[in-house]
Structure 1
């Protein structure tokens, strides 16, 4: 928990420093505000991509777990092999 607070403090300090640096830069205010807006948009897009990647990864792991469970309780060898193959495909995709 302490390392999480430390990391949060470091990131917050870095962001605050970057904002202050941009605000005191020798550019016109409109240029600075535009640059801040563009950077913010870039960070949001990156966060959305990361969240989507994480969600897809979790979904693939859940599907692999379902397939492995079905393979374990399968009534026939062919059904077991099919479900094991599905599990492997989801594991590779995640």
Structure 2
């Protein structure tokens, strides 16, 4: 199963449990609404952090692939030059 789907499922379950716990708590409506808003903000911050981590990870991997590709192109040019020079010689 996709790790992203599992993480999203866990976060959704935690958020649902937290909201249900708050809704059934014996607090005033204004206090309950504030708690729900705070939990929502915390959940959103967690998702943003996870998203940023994934993007940073993908960016670093892409940069590594790009550098590796440049190295292979340079090697191919050198190989072609060597062949060209040996054919002349």
* TM-score (norm. length: structure 1): 0.61
- C-alpha offsets along residues 41-90 of structure 1, whole Å, 9 cap, x if unaligned? 011011011101101110110010010011112146xxxxxxxxxxxxxx
Distance 1:13 1:49 in 2: 18
| TM-score, reference length from structure 2 | 0.64
Structure of greater Rg: 2
User: How many equivalent residue pairs?
Assistant: 72
Aligned counterparts of 1:14 and 1:50: Cα–Cα separation in 2: 15
1:66 counterpart residue number? 66
Runs of 4+ in 1 over 2 A off after TM superposition: 10-21
The 1-side partners of 2:63 and 2:13 are apart by 40
Q: Tell me the distance in 2 between the aligned counterparts of 1:72 and 1:43.
A: 44
5+ residue gaps in structure 1?
77-94
**CA 1:28–1:49 in structure 2 vs 1: closer, same or farther (change >3 Å)?**
same
